[in-house]
Amino acid sequence: MRKDIKDNKNKKIGSIDTQLNGRSTIYNKEGSRIGEIRPDGNRLVAYDKHGKKIAYWQERDDTTYTPNARKIAKGNLLIEMYFQELIINRLGN
């Protein structure tokens, strides 16, 4: 079942579809698939639409990391990272 993802102004920026196996597919506001979050032991791993790992969240210390284990922030920021990428890409073009 898809749920809308909204920004702080309550405007839809995307949606998330969570399956029973723990996987979540992330879509942009146009409905195009932009990535997937998959469980992997005691962590959740975020992949882009091409299957490249972009970050992971470690449950035991509640911290989000880059694929090469550099700490990004405290808390699970995986969904936010997809939309941060979209903003950065728009500004760069």
Cβ neighbours around 48 below 10 Å, total: 17
Task: Summarize pLDDT for 62-72 with one digit per residue, the tens.
Answer: 999 999 999 98
Q: How far apart are CA 21 and CA 74, in angstroms?
A: 25
- What's the pTM value of the predicted model, to 2 decimals? 0.84
Long-range contacts of 25-34 (CB under 8 A, 24+ apart): 26/79, 26/82, 27/2, 28/86, 34/82, 34/86
Average pLDDT, the chain: 88
Task: Summarize pLDDT for 17-31 with one digit per residue, the tens.
Answer: 999 999 999 999 999
Nearest to 76 by CA among 39, 48, 51: 39
Delimit the domains of the chain by residue range: 2-92
Residue 85's pLDDT is what? 57
Supply 62's token pair. 């509640």
